[in-house]
């Protein structure tokens, strides 16, 4: 790794790879850092090495990733796998750990493409062995080719849950039940958003076909599930819920034996790196998460970009387009693109991006998580899994007069563990907001500080 | 709403003072800042410490003796809050890594001993004596000063315990209430804050670095500047270090806190890789076993520095009833702030040493 | 409670898990190997000793911390298995040994 680059890109997912290819094609000297062993991000994880079986199960959208990964592998710039970023700051200085050694990189232009993460789903028992995120189920199949056996239940809301269910069915994995927590009436309520979404009708067709597939497989499908709990002592044994609708009929107090429970409440931008770089975030009520303030090229401030799902959840296809836009913008800012080409190319990409994003308001509205799954409903539910801090611990601290999440952290250790609040920060802010009757934008979130990924004292001492 | 005293600032200094005032039957209101308002209380190291403090200023040395001797009592009182503050007073070390440090330390310790009329207890330990007490210490550490009077506490738990204890005594605590103006009216003071207007006969400024600008409104020129210290904290380790040291201590949770940097960077409480590196180097030099240990967090905190580093306890001459309590080491001094300092604020018979901390000393 | 879907996968990498040897496919993560082997937990928390298993599999949740080749608190979902790798459950806080470092 060199001490400085014209363009440093963090993340080799759809946005990062596309930005790299576009910038390099226009003559920019690029370096890409990624913490996975292979390029692809989560969505195209392992895409270039997938077996026929994996490709067959994961479908066309996943296979499309292979072209991009292959392009990226010969894109002409530098690429470092298994390299994790532990420090980023407002001056585009980046600290990277690779093979136990620290490197400091000064980036003339910095692109943060750190992708998305699962939204936490703090239900009773979600910390038990046997409970994982649905995304983890998909990652396990993409990366390691493994699937659950035994009693499997999928619970939550969002397109990924249905996609995973359909992929598992293709793979011959038996699903005991799907517990859909999407609240009643969401689709009807969200129809007004569909007008703008007409351009994204392929997504609606896709969604409908997933549902048809699940229905045809006769997987028991519970809708409007409320009061979901994972129950067990040393691991999850049962999943229970207070009420739901099944085949049009109300059901109550159901308990199902389960070996693996996969949860999903949608995905949210992983804004840690962006915030460490002092990029501004704002609360997005529709997506129910913090998003990074950028323009359509992903620019946050001069020479610093946040693109793709890392800024705002937009999906792989939009991320690819925005990545290209961003790479082109960097090239243009370095005067490597003539103004005519810039005009033509960027307008074309912008048009594609806007078309791709047209469906988002509808999807966001339908799959907005219910409050009951954002804020725990029982006192003893664990919010901070690392430090084992419960809802009532946090409520006690707020009652004592805590001004906001950072003060609650001081009093309760919520967010102080190894994950540094990636799993609990939003839940914490939601609880504070509700209890002190403040809007999320005012409550804010836990502050981000280095190290952003594991580093030892010896490695820092050796900088 | 009418109060006897309004304490401005709900950090370690304000909370201890408010708690002490409430113990004496005062009706107290604490106005505190916002979630991300600069706060040394949330960034400090948790030492209850006398070593080195006041070696060049006898009143401060004596004041620290008073505070640390009152600490066990404060710790007992706070047990009622059921917040475990993990207070321990087993003694503490300050290491020397070369002969020059050792010489300087020795003369500093002896000056401190003189300044306290022999109340300060300490011992200089060479490497082999030190190694017997701390087997994990490296050869690079040639020796250490040790004082059995030193100890440590979980500073965040302490802040919480004080906050709880004062509210149990009837103190009104109001967060997110930055103070906009303080005006004297008819022998009282009207405080305009983000959450309303409040009146009291006495005002105690405990707002740390903000004391400068708050004091200005009341004709007090409180000289205070920020000094940044960066702190590292590791993953939880099984217990290995029984005693706190000036720059490395193992907390009750098992994490290891490492710090002691000094930078003049204004009101910037961020961290920088260069300083983190220096701190880590020194820690690994002293405790090689820390080399493979993961860092979990790092932060910057701003010390509240007066021109000579010693506290300022000052009543306004133009606005009697307005007091400034401006100092670093709010943890060590918490027991003094909750006790003898409140006697002074309330005008009772008080320890004469407190008068040594007036701003008059800067005029000389 | 997990299996390899593709029958063609070769179980050619030998790892030791809490003292027992296992054969697992190459190119999978340590966390995936733990799920495949069917262990009941991969760590016990330093706070209450509660048993945990991986949650996110993408490196952000730190639930999958394990002791890998002697080094504690490693994210097992970010680490690929290697021939002869020694994997242990992370029981509570990390233990540091002074003797090891004292030359």
Structure tokens at A376: 């725990």
Tell me whether residues B173 and A400 touch, CB distance under 8 A. Answer: yes
pLDDT digits (tens, 9 = 90+) for A297-333: 999 999 999 999 999 999 999 999 999 999 999 999 9
If you count them, how many residues does chain B have? 364
Distance CA A459, CA B4 (A): 54
A201 band by pLDDT with thresholds 50, 70 and 90: low
CB contact under 8 Å between C54 and A150, yes or no, is no
Collect all residues of chain A within an 8 Å Cβ-Cβ radius of residue C4. 145-146
A419 vs B contacts (CB less than 8 Å): none
Q: Which of A6-20, A185-199, A352-366 has the highest mean pLDDT?
A: A6-20
The Cα of A310 is separated from the nearest Cα of chain C by a number of Å equal to 13
Q: For residue B85, what is the nearest residue in chain A, using CA coordinates?
A: A411
pLDDT of residue C8: 78
Considering CB atoms only, which of B34, B37, B280 is closest to A457? B280
Q: Among candidates B92, B161, B83, B97, which has minimal Cα distance to B121?
A: B92
Residue B237: what pLDDT? 96
Q: Is C95 on the interface with B (CB under 8 A)?
A: yes
Nearest neighbour of A418 by CB, restricted to C2, C40, C73:
C73
Q: Which residues of C60-82 are buried (b: 16+ CB within 10 A; e: fewer)?
A: bbbbbbbbbeeebbbbbbbbbbe
DSSP state of A436: H
Partner residue facing A456 (CB), from B34, B35, B291? B291
CB contact C36 to A (< 8 Å): yes
Contact A455/B295, CB-based, under 8 Å?
A: yes
Whether residue C8 is contained in a domain is answered as: no
Phi, psi of B178 (to 5 degrees): -60, 140
Cβ distance B235 to C101 less than 8 Å, yes or no, reads: no
Residue A374: in which H helix or E strand, if any?
A: helix A371-374
- pLDDT tens, per residue, chain C with 103 residues: 899 998 778 999 999 999 999 999 999 999 999 999 999 999 999 999 999 999 999 999 999 999 999 999 999 999 999 999 999 999 999 988 765 444 3
Chain A: residue whose CA lies nearest to C27 = A144
Q: Does A99 touch chain B (CB under 8 A)?
A: no
- Considering only residues 18 to 77 of chain C, which have any Cβ-Cβ distance to chain B shorter than 8 Å? 46, 71-73
Q: Using pLDDT thresholds of 50, 70 and 90, give the confidence band for residue A362.
A: confident
Which residues in chain A touch residue C45, judged by CB atoms under 8 angstroms apart? 386, 388
Q: Considering only CB atoms, which chain C residues are within 8 Å of B291?
A: 101
Q: Which of B136, B235, B289 sits opposite C73 (nearest CB)?
A: B235
Best of A38, A46, A84, A145 to disrupt the C interface (most C CBs within 10 Å) is: A145
Predicted confidence (pLDDT) per residue in B78-103, tens digit: 999 999 999 999 999 999 999 999 99
Model pTM score: 0.96
Q: State the total domains in chain C.
A: 1
Q: How far apart are CA A360 and CA A374, in angstroms?
A: 21
pLDDT score of C9: 81
Instruction: Give the separation between CA C7 and CA A51, rounded to whole angstroms.
Output: 11
What pLDDT sits at residue B57?
Answer: 95
From the CA of B133, how many Å to the nearest CA of chain C? 14
Q: Is the pLDDT of residue A194 over 70?
A: no
Q: Which fold has domain B225-305?
A: D-Amino Acid Oxidase; Chain A, domain 2 (3.30.9)
Q: Which fold has domain B2-51+156-223+307-363?
A: FAD/NAD(P)-binding domain (3.50.50)
| Partners of residue C61 in chain A, C-beta under 8 Å | 385, 419, 422-423
Q: A195 pLDDT band (50/70/90 cuts)?
A: low
DSSP 8-state assignment for residue A449: -
Residues of chain B with CATH 3.30.9.10: 225-305
Q: Which of B236, B254, B289 lies closest to C98 in CB terms?
A: B289
Instruction: Evaluate whether residue C56 is within a structural domain.
Output: yes
Interface with chain B: mutation pick from A401, A409, A420, A421, highest number of B CBs within 10 Å: A401
- Residues of B within 8 A of C102 (CB-CB) are 138, 288
Domain CATH for C72: 3.10.20.30
Using the predicted structure, report yes or no on whether residue A281 has a pLDDT greater than 90.
Answer: yes
CB contacts under 8 A, A 368-407 vs B, are 397, 400-407
pLDDT at B343: 97
The reply to whether C99 falls in a domain is no
Q: Exposure pattern of A66-100 as b/e (b: 16+ CB <10 Å)?
A: bebbeebeebebbbbebbbbbbbbeebbbbbbeee
**Residue A388 is nearest to which of C25, C28, C48, comparing CB atoms?**
C48
A388:C47 CB<8 A? yes
State pLDDT tens for residues B307-324: 999 999 999 999 999 999
Min distance B34 CA to chain A CA atoms (Å)? 6
- Residue B152: which pLDDT band, with cuts at 50, 70 and 90? very high
State residue C103's pLDDT score: 37
Range of the domain at C60: 13-91
Closest-approach residue (CA) in chain B for C75: B294
User: Would you give the end-to-end CA distance of chain B in angstroms?
Assistant: 42
**List of chain C residues whose C-beta atoms are within 8 Å of the C-beta of residue A54:** 6
Could you tell me if residue C52 is inside a domain?
Answer: yes
Place of tokens 């409550």: A443
Question: A363 or B228: whose pLDDT is higher?
Answer: B228
Whether C85 is in a domain gets the answer: yes
Residues of A in contact with C26 (CB under 8 A): none
> Taking Cα atoms as reference points, which of B90, B48, B120, B93 lies closest to residue B246?
B93
d(CA B254, CA A249): 53
Q: Please name the residues in contact with C22: beta carbons below 8 A apart, sequence gap of 6 or more.
A: C14, C15, C16, C33, C37
Q: Do B254 and C71 touch (CB under 8 A)?
A: no
List where CATH 3.50.50.60 sits in chain B: 2-51+156-223+307-363
Residue C73 lies in a domain: yes
pLDDT of A348 reads 97
Determine contact: A56 vs chain C, CB below 8 A: no
Predicted ipTM of the assembly: 0.95
Q: Kindly determine whether residue B254 and residue C97, on different chains, have CB atoms separated by under 8 Å.
A: no
Tell me whether residue A195 is exposed, middle or buried, using C-beta atoms within 10 angstroms of its C-beta: 0 to 12, 13 to 18, 19 or more.
exposed
The residue ranges of DSSP E strands in chain B, in sequence order, are 2-8, 28-31, 47-48, 92-96, 123-126, 143-147, 151-152, 172-174, 179-185, 188-193, 196-205, 225-234, 248-250, 256-258, 294-305, 312-315, 322-326
């Amino acid at each position: 790794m060199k001490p400085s680059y014209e363009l440093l890109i963090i993340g080799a997912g759809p946005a990062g790879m596309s930005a790299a290819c576009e910038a390099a094609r226009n003559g920019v000297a690029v370096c890409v850092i990624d913490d996975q062993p292979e390029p692809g991000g989560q969505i195209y994880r392992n895409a270039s090495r997938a077996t026929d079986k994996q490709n067959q199960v994961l479908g066309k959208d996943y296979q499309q990733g292979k072209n991009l990964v292959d392009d990226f592998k010969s894109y002409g710039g530098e690429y470092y796998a298994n390299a994790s970023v532990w420090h980023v700051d407002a001056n585009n200085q980046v600290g990277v750990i690779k093979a136990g050694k620290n490197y400091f990189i000064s980036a003339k232009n910095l692109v943060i493409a750190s992708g998305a993460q699962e939204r936490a789903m703090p239900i009773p028992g979600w910390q038990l062995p046997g409970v994982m995120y649905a995304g983890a189920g998909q990652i396990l199949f993409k990366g390691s080719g493994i699937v659950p056996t035994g009693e499997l239940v999928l619970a939550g809301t969002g397109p990924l849950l249905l996609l995973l269910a359909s992929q598992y069915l293709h793979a011959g994995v038996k699903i005991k039940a799907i517990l859909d927590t999407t609240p009643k009436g969401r689709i009807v309520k969200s129809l007004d958003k569909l007008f703008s979404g007409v351009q994204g009708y392929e997504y609606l067709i896709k969604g409908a076909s997933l549902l048809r597939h699940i229905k045809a497989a006769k997987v028991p499908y519970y809708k409007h599930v409320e009061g979901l709990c994972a129950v067990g002592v040393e691991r999850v044994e049962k999943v229970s819920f207070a009420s739901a609708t099944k085949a049009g009929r109300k059901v109550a107090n159901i308990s199902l034996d389960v070996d693996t429970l996969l949860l999903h409440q949608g995905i949210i931008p992983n804004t840690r790196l962006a915030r460490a770089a002092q990029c501004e975030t704002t609360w997005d009520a529709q997506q129910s998460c913090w998003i990074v303030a950028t323009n359509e090229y992903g620019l946050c401030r001069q020479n610093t970009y946040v693109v793709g799902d890392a800024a705002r959840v937009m999906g792989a296809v939009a991320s690819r387009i925005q990545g290209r836009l961003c790479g082109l913008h960097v090239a243009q800012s370095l005067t490597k693109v003539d103004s005519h080409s810039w005009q033509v190319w960027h307008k074309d990409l912008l048009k594609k991006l806007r078309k791709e994003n047209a469906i988002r308001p509808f999807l966001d509205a339908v799959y907005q998580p219910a409050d009951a799954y954002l804020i725990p409903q029982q006192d003893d539910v664990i919010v901070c899994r690392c430090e084992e801090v419960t809802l009532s611990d946090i409520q006690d601290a707020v009652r004592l007069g805590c001004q906001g999440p950072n003060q609650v952290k001081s009093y309760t250790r919520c967010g102080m563990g190894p994950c540094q609040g990636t799993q609990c920060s939003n839940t914490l802010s939601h609880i504070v907001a509700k209890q002190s009757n403040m809007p999320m934008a005012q409550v804010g979130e836990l502050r981000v500080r280095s190290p952003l990924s594991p580093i030892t004292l010896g490695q820092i001492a050796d900088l | 709403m009418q109060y006897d005293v309004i304490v401005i600032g709900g950090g370690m200094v304000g909370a201890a003072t408010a708690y002490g005032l409430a113990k004496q039957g005062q009706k107290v209101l604490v106005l505190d800042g916002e979630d991300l308002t600069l706060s040394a209380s949330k960034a400090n190291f948790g030492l209850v410490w006398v070593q080195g403090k006041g070696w060049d200023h006898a009143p401060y040395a004596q004041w620290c003796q008073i505070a640390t001797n009152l600490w066990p009592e404060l710790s007992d009182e706070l047990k009622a809050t059921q917040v475990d503050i993990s207070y321990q007073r087993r003694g503490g070390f300050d290491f020397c890594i070369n002969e020059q440090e050792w010489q300087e330390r020795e003369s500093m310790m002896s000056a401190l001993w003189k300044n306290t009329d022999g109340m300060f207890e300490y011992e200089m330990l060479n490497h082999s004596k030190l190694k017997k007490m701390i087997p994990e210490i490296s050869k690079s550490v040639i020796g250490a000063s040790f004082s059995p009077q030193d100890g440590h506490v979980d500073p965040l738990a302490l802040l919480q315990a004080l906050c709880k204890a004062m509210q149990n005594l009837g103190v009104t605590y109001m967060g997110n209430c930055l103070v906009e103006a303080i005006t004297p009216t008819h022998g009282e003071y009207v405080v305009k804050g983000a959450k309303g207007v409040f009146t009291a006969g006495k005002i105690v400024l405990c707002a740390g670095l903000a004391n400068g600008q708050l004091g200005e409104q009341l004709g007090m020129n409180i000289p205070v500047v920020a000094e940044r210290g960066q702190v590292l904290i590791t993953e939880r380790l099984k217990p290995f270090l029984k005693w706190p040291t000036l720059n490395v201590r193992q907390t009750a949770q098992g994490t290891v806190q490492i710090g002691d940097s000094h930078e003049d960077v204004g009101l910037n409480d961020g961290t920088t890789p260069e300083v983190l590196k220096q701190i880590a180097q020194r820690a690994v030099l002293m405790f090689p076993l820390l080399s493979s240990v993961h860092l979990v967090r790092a932060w910057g905190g701003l010390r509240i520095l007066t021109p000579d580093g010693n506290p300022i306890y000052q009543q306004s001459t133009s606005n009697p009833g307005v007091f400034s309590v401006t100092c670093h080491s709010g943890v060590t001094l918490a027991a003094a702030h909750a006790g003898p300092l409140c006697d002074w604020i309330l005008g009772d018979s008080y320890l004469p040493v407190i008068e040594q901390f007036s701003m008059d000393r800067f005029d000389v | 409670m997990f299996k390899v879907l593709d029958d063609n996968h070769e179980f050619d990498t030998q790892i030791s898990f809490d003292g027992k040897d296992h054969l697992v496919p190459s190119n999978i993560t340590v966390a995936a190997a733990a799920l495949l082997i069917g262990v009941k937990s991969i760590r016990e928390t330093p706070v209450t000793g509660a048993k945990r298993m991986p949650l996110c599999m993408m490196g952000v949740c730190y639930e999958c911390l394990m002791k890998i080749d002697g080094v504690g608190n490693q994210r097992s979902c970010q680490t690929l298995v290697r021939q002869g790798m020694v994997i242990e459950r992370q029981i509570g806080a990390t233990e540091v040994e002074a003797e090891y470092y004292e030359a």
